[in-house]
Structure 1
Amino acid sequence: MLKKWGMVPFILIPLALSAETKIGYIDSQRILSGYRGGGEITQEINTALQDWEKKATTLKQEIEQMIQEYESQSVMLSEKSREEKRAAIEEKQREYQEFIQRIWGAGGEAETKQREIMQPFVEKINEIINQIGESEGYTMIFDIAGMGVVYANDDLDLTQKILDELNKEYVEEEEEVFAGFQNIEFYVLRLKEMNKEAQDCGCGQDIKEKLRAALIAMENYKEVRATKITNAFTLANVTLSEDKLTEEDVKTVGRYAYADFMIMGEVEKTGEIITVRISVIDMKKEEIVKTAEVKSSGEREEDIIPMVSNLAAEILPSMKKD
């Protein structure tokens, strides 16, 4: 789940000594992999690294291009010109190596950035560890990840207790009850634009936003948080955009996002007429429970909004919990 960054040590400070020694331990690797917000952290780190990765790729491509040009032109060049080109290649290679070392070397900018992003998470864990240590009378709490521990009594393992506290906000949100009735959580994906006219008007995103707004307006219907969807894409290792997902991709993302229903579809525009086709996936059954097709009477807002309202009304009866 967590990629492109290594372990960040937790500051496990020995707690006040007591008459009776009480020792516990955690496995920070399990905490990192079991934290429900880990995907969001990974996404933030990967986003921060993208510019550096692009720069490294560009430098490498420039070197390859220079070498290719040198090899293809070598026989036609004077010795002086060949030396100048070789020197230019060597200089570019030095620039590339220095850049790699500055960014990804020990103590480099990538490591610094990763620690900066991780710091709030690390502080949160240390706060929980200290709270447990003080309230339950622990003398010391160790992190056994990477220590080569041969044996440790499971009764001393506090990892799950730390994870439960860290993930509490996610569990509470999933168990949220509105007026005695559990909310139905859904997510509408950007619709696939089936022709150039639909692409030119951005119909896929426009219909998505209008449909989600129509559903949110209904009592007890709630959209899955965007951060949960981002996290789900990361955990599912799905890199395609929303409108490019297959049905199986959507089901996988829906499982990780703990959605009740996922809504996918396509849109086509011919002249002033917009055609929308929708599939509703019940994540408990993991199958399509409703398909619908609607057409607008025109391309103006006053034509599209009633169409989307009719679409919402048509699919709502299928979006019920058993």
Structure 2
Amino acid sequence: MKKFFILLVLSILWQSEASAQKIGYTDMEFITSKMPEYLAAQTEMKKFSEKWAKEIQDKFGEIDRMQRAYMAEEILLTEELKRKRQSEIKEKELEAGEYNSKIFGMDGLMFQKKKELMKPVLEKVQRAVTKVCSQRRLDFMFDKSSDIGMLYTNPKHDYSDYVMEELGIDPKANKASGSEKPEQPVNVPANTSPKQKSTTSKLK
């Protein structure tokens, strides 16, 4: 798949050069990191992530208490009571696992909330990109922070400043901090229980 994208980019570059079409690139990761709307959405997402993670941690904490209580009393329980307690614990584990998947699983509530919060930001950026491309008569603009990446980037084709100006962001004021790596979006992995450190580590 990656080879396909490289061939596609090469093909576009060759065709563009042949027909004198203009190509530009921009750094969306850097641009969005300077947008107040994006940072506000990130903060809101983190609040939801922490809230839901706490709820799941509480569920698994209850299961842990039930298991410890069962182990302490097991020798005193009849076979019927043992089966009943084991069934209750298993039911709680299943419930907690399903809730975890519902929140952080693929197309879960966290994914939906991220789409909802990011939609206005992405639409605003897209409008700015479209306007800049129209004003500068660009035929193609690539995002060098995307997975496809760039084979070669000539600074004279970097239109990030124009997009930032269109968004009302002063490019010169942000040049000093441009080398700092922007905060990454909250990304909570699917099917991860609070008993594993990976869930909470993603919320930092």
The structure-2 alpha-carbon separation of the partners of 1:85 and 1:150, relative to structure 1 and needing over 3 Å to count, comes to farther
| Residues 33 and 39 in structure 2, CA contact (< 8 A), matched pair in contact too | no
Per the alignment, residue 266 of structure 1 pairs with: none
Larger fraction in helix = 2
Q: How many angstroms does 1:51 deviate by?
A: 3.5
Q: How many angstroms does 1:136 deviate by?
A: 0.8
Per the alignment, residue 44 of structure 2 pairs with: 44
Q: How many angstroms does 1:117 deviate by?
A: 0.6
- The DSSP-based 3-state class of the residue aligned with 1:168 is coil
Q: What residue ranges of structure 2 are gaps of 5+ in the alignment?
A: 1-15, 173-182, 184-204
Q: What residue ranges of structure 1 are gaps of 5+ in the alignment?
A: 1-16, 172-234, 236-322
Q: What CA distance in whole angstroms lies between the structure 2 residues aligned with 1:80 and 1:151?
A: 71
Per the alignment, residue 160 of structure 2 pairs with: 159
Per the alignment, residue 54 of structure 2 pairs with: 54
More divergent stretch after superposition (143-152 vs 91-100): 143-152
Q: How many angstroms does 1:110 deviate by?
A: 0.6
Q: What CA distance in whole angstroms lies between the structure 2 residues aligned with 1:164 and 1:36?
A: 14
1:47-68 deviations in Å (ceiling 9; x for gaps): 3334322321221111111111
1:50-90 deviations in Å (ceiling 9; x for gaps): 43223212211111111111111111111221222122111
Q: What CA distance in whole angstroms lies between the structure 2 residues aligned with 1:48 and 1:164?
A: 32
Q: What's the RMSD between the two structures over aligned residues?
A: 2.7
Per the alignment, residue 139 of structure 1 pairs with: 139
1:104 aligns with 2:104: yes
Q: How many angstroms does 1:36 deviate by?
A: 4.2
Q: What CA distance in whole angstroms lies between the structure 2 residues aligned with 1:160 and 1:71?
A: 64
Structural mapping, 1:245-284, within 5 Å: none
Q: What CA distance in whole angstroms lies between the structure 1 residues aligned with 2:71 and 2:165?
A: 61
Per the alignment, residue 272 of structure 1 pairs with: none
Q: What CA distance in whole angstroms lies between the structure 1 residues aligned with 2:72 and 2:29?
A: 51
Per the alignment, residue 72 of structure 1 pairs with: 72
Q: How many angstroms does 1:41 deviate by?
A: 1.9
The structure-2 alpha-carbon separation of the partners of 1:122 and 1:146, relative to structure 1 and needing over 3 Å to count, comes to same
- The DSSP-based 3-state class of the residue aligned with 2:24 is strand
Q: How many angstroms does 1:37 deviate by?
A: 4.3
The structure-2 alpha-carbon separation of the partners of 1:152 and 1:61, relative to structure 1 and needing over 3 Å to count, comes to same
Using structure 2 for the length normalisation, give the TM-score: 0.67
Per the alignment, residue 204 of structure 1 pairs with: none
Q: How many angstroms does 1:150 deviate by?
A: 4.1
Q: What CA distance in whole angstroms lies between the structure 1 residues aligned with 2:132 and 2:27?
A: 15
| Residues 25 and 143 in structure 2, CA contact (< 8 A), matched pair in contact too | yes
Larger fraction in strand = 1
> Which is greater in Rg?
1
User: Which of 1 and 2 has higher RCO (CA within 8 Å, sep 6+)?
Assistant: 2
1:177-208 deviations in Å (ceiling 9; x for gaps): xxxxxxxxxxxxxxxxxxxxxxxxxxxxxxxx
